[in-house]
Structure 1
Amino acid sequence: MANVGVLGAGSWGTALSLLLHDNGHQVTVWSISEEEVKMLSEKREYEAKLPGVKLPRELVFTSNLEEALTGRDFLVLAVPSPFTRETARKMSPYIKEGQIIVDVAKGIEETTLMTLSQQIEQEIPQADVAVLSGPSHAEEVGRGLPTTCVIGAKTEKTAKYLQSMFISRVFRVYISHDILGIELGGSLKNVIALAAGIADGMGYGDNTKAALITRGIAEIARLGVKMGGKIETFTGLSGIGDLIVTCASVHSRNRKAGYLMGQGKTMEEAMKEVNMVVEGVYSAKAAAKLAEKYQVSMPIVEQVNKVLFEGKNPAEAVDELMLREVKSEH
């Protein structure tokens, strides 16, 4: 049995806390919100985000950061990506040398173009930072539906240790050393999912969705390989696997935000209605900047940015994508 601290009591942090508890571990969950801690401690259900998922009494919730971090075998960082750096900075004084931290959020920092693990390492250089990613909506993990993910770590020892902590009969875990590729796949697919949602909102069909997924993974892989990721990663769970589920699932907040924009709402109106952090909006500008920096063609990402931040009509964006200069597929 391991003693685990989970930072972030949103839907994903809560679902993983339940998974780890069911695996026999002692789990303490931290939230910055005392109100959220009180609600979860008393109701034992996150009705707004994980309705119907009952949380056992053994799960401890706290707003005391030191309590959540002290004496833990490993830590799970599950705060939304815009708050990763700030949270890591607050954690650093309590983190011992070699402390394993597995980041489970997805995003790229717009100002620095750093992945989340890079941000954590910058703020907590003494930590052993790993990542977990894949097609894994919290709503299904919380209900115990079969799910498969991949853990990326710098050493095989850390990867195998975390694999043994998370794996269960309903949560199969693979390992990889390609941390960068895993993070890029997990972050950039949210931008493509916004495009897929916009297409759904405009009433386009399955052909359109399949095209966006296929050409989307081509864009992600082009950039990822140029940056040093492995092509196998982008054809795997954290690449095409995560992209498919995020573009197609009713649970996808990025697809839902895109859907609302496809129906005519502004980006701000869509984010307000989704009422959760829409990671793709935060990653879109970073993706465009990376494409420019590495001189990689990413036309879907480019058009998503124009719809999000320049007020471009989605129908015009589709026209530009369809009527671009003809070319070979590969």
Structure 2
Amino acid sequence: MKNIGVIGGGSWGTALSILLSNNKHNVDVWIRDKVQAKQVEKTRKNDKYLSDVLIPEQIGVTDDLEKVIYNKDLLVLAVPSHAVRQTLNNCKNLIMKDQVLVNVAKGIENDTLLRVSQIIDEILPQNQFAVLSGPSHAEEVAKNMPTTVVSASEDKKTAKYIQDIFMSTYFRVYTNPDVIGVELGGALKNVIALGAGISDGLGYGDNTKAALMTRGIIEISRLGAKMGADMSTFAGLAGIGDLIVTCTSMHSRNRRAGILIGQGKTLDEAVELVGMVVEGIKTTMSTYNLAKKYNVKMPITKEIYQVLYEGKDVNNSVVNLMLRDKKHELEDIAKNR
């Protein structure tokens, strides 16, 4: 039994709090909004995110960061990726060096192009860290549906520590030392999911989506190779596994936002209608800039960036992708033959 603080009471933070409580750990969850925290504490329901799931009475709910951090063995960072730096700066003096951190958000910081693990290393370099990622919709985890994810850390003991804490009869956890690959796979699949949603919104079918997903994982792998990731990671749960679930499910905020954009809604209208953080929007900008930084060709990402940030017509983007210069499917292999 561990004492665990979950920093962030969105859908994923709530679902993981329930999972950890079911695993017999002592859990407190921090919700930034005081009114929402009081409501969740009283009703035992997070109406904004998981309205049909009951939160066990033994889970503490608070808007006090110090309370959720004090005397905890493990801290789960479940705030959106763009809020990680500010949140850690707000509480870095409260976090002890022996507390383990696990991040469950998926994104790349816009201004610095840093992954979450790099942000944590800047602010709390003394703490052990892991990232938990994979095909895992909060809506299903909260209802005990079988799910499989990856615990990634450069420290083998830390990866196994997270594995042991989160593992259950319905939540299987593998370990992986490739933090770079796991973080990139988790973040960049949201960009491709926006594209898959746009395709759906335009009325295209399974052929189109299969093409986007397959070529999308090629783009992700290509950038990952330049950034030092292990290529095998992208063939696993944090790569193709997470890409599949995010591009095909209506639980996916990124796909839902993409559908609305494909149907003619503006970016702001789509975000408002989804009603929750759509990580892929900010990550599209970060990925586009990473592709330029590392000189990597990412045509799908480029087109999605131009649709979101330059007002490009989505129909023109489809034509551009279809009429690009003719290529060998496996370009790197072809170059060596």
Q: State the partner residue of 2:191.
A: 191
Is residue 52 from structure 1 mapped to residue 52 from structure 2 by the alignment?
yes
State the shift of 1:47 in Å: 2.4
Residue aligned with 1:94, SS = coil
Q: State the partner residue of 1:247.
A: 247
State the shift of 1:189 in Å: 0.5
**Amino acid in the other structure paired with 2:194:** L
Residue aligned with 1:53, SS = strand
- CA–CA distance in 1 between the matches of 2:66 and 2:121? 19
State the shift of 1:122 in Å: 1.0
Is residue 164 from structure 1 mapped to residue 176 from structure 2 by the alignment?
no
Is residue 203 from structure 1 mapped to residue 200 from structure 2 by the alignment?
no
Q: State the partner residue of 1:321.
A: 321
- CA–CA distance in 2 between the matches of 1:324 and 1:157? 47
RMSD: 0.7
Is residue 74 from structure 1 mapped to residue 74 from structure 2 by the alignment?
yes
How many residue pairs get aligned? The number is 330
State the shift of 1:154 in Å: 1.8
Q: State the partner residue of 2:279.
A: 279
Is residue 11 from structure 1 mapped to residue 11 from structure 2 by the alignment?
yes
Per-residue CA distance 1:151-176 (angstroms, 9 max, x = gap): 01121111111100000010000001
Is residue 236 from structure 1 mapped to residue 236 from structure 2 by the alignment?
yes
CA contact (8 A) 2:182 2:233 kept: yes
- CA–CA distance in 2 between the matches of 1:19 and 1:97? 25
Q: State the partner residue of 1:227.
A: 227
CA contact (8 A) 2:6 2:27 kept: yes
- CA–CA distance in 2 between the matches of 1:297 and 1:98? 42
CA contact (8 A) 2:129 2:158 kept: no
Q: State the partner residue of 1:147.
A: 147
Per-residue CA distance 1:219-273 (angstroms, 9 max, x = gap): 0000001100001111110100000000000100000000000000011110111
Residue aligned with 1:5, SS = strand
Residue aligned with 2:196, SS = helix
- CA–CA distance in 1 between the matches of 2:123 and 2:16? 24
State the shift of 1:126 in Å: 2.1
- CA–CA distance in 2 between the matches of 1:16 and 1:97? 23
State the shift of 1:90 in Å: 1.2
State the shift of 1:41 in Å: 0.4
CA contact (8 A) 1:89 1:124 kept: no
**Amino acid in the other structure paired with 1:276:** M
Per-residue CA distance 1:25-59 (angstroms, 9 max, x = gap): 00000111111110110111122321221111100
**Amino acid in the other structure paired with 1:182:** V
- Paired-residue identity, %: 54
Runs of at least 4 residues off by over 2 Å: none
Q: State the partner residue of 2:299.
A: 299
Q: State the partner residue of 2:129.
A: 129
Residue aligned with 1:107, SS = coil
Residue aligned with 1:42, SS = helix
- CA–CA distance in 2 between the matches of 1:37 and 1:280? 26
- CA–CA distance in 1 between the matches of 2:60 and 2:93? 22
CA contact (8 A) 1:193 1:258 kept: yes
Residue aligned with 1:120, SS = helix
Residue aligned with 1:175, SS = strand
